[in-house]
Structure 1
Amino acid sequence: MQEQQFGNLTLQLVRGDITRQDDLDAVVNAANAQLAIGGGVAGAIHRAAGPDLDAACRPLAPIRPGEAVITEAFKLPNAHVIHCLGPVYGVDEPADELLVRCYEAAMDRAEEAGLGSVGFPAISTGAFGYPIREAAGIALQTVVRRASSLTSLRLVRFVLFSELDLQVHQEILAGMA
């Protein structure tokens, strides 16, 4: 695990399963517009949380790229799931601004709920096709830029699925120091 401090915020990078982050208040779902069971992160989170998550999401859908909503986490080890819709690369434009808004909206939902910790996947980099290096730079810069204005959020962990995703995030974070 790589860890770096930005004011009162600890930023961590780990390779792992986002559904098994039992020390975090919330995990972020790389959701689809309907907040429905899907593939990748959305599928894993919905499967782990159970059918109550799908029922809780239905009245909140649809959401647009850059938006985030919060629900209970049900059978996940966390209290909440923050569902964020990232942009489809090459379709939803301006993709970079929408990805920034996605991370900001997720942090806003965490702050509004008074949460102390949240885990992010690499939003939009799977089926939505966002290049990992570009997406990682946007994600890390957005979190670091917001660090000084966060009041309850003290820990942001990027939970990355592959070794490559972790290495890219590590390289970018090292370049920000």
Structure 2
Amino acid sequence: MLDVMLPKLDGFTLAEEMRRRSLPTPFMFLTAKALKADRLQGFELGCDDYLTKPFGLEELVYRVKAILRRTSQHPEPAPAEPSPASAAAGVFTLGASTLAFKNLQLHVAGHTHTLTHREAELLRLFAQHPHQLLRREEILQRLWQDDGYFVGRSLDVFISRLRKYLQPDATVKITTVHGRGYKLEVAA
């Protein structure tokens, strides 16, 4: 848990440092800074949740439990495209790119990107359902257990980042189906 207004090093800077070091640790902001811009900045930095003060202790406990459920290593159903052997190893082929889920690594056109846990979860979800429409609400409920406005904006940020990472690979792209959701398209 990070407070945005820490005494020596603010929470946003600490979160940036965690990302720079590619630490896969889930984290949430617990802060008095409740402006929309602050919330969006927190999600852009990869937080798993953003809770503003004052809050109820019960709500905090449920939010922490939800984060732990989402970030724990639990078995997932086999993906539609990759072979069962590669899925069991946590490796997903996306066109000419490869997602090594357990290592949070995306290999695209000779470059390796270290993903946040949430980015990897989202890309794995797409890899498990190639060429299928994933509704926004479904994605938000599966990965965040919340489909509220701020979490929806966070999803937009994550989609934008994944598109940027995948851009050099012409065989794969994430398309928007206006008003409905997203689809991972992989060239044959």
TM value normalised by structure 1 = 0.29
Structure with bigger RCO (C-alpha 8 Å, 6+ apart): 1
Higher gyration radius (CA): 2
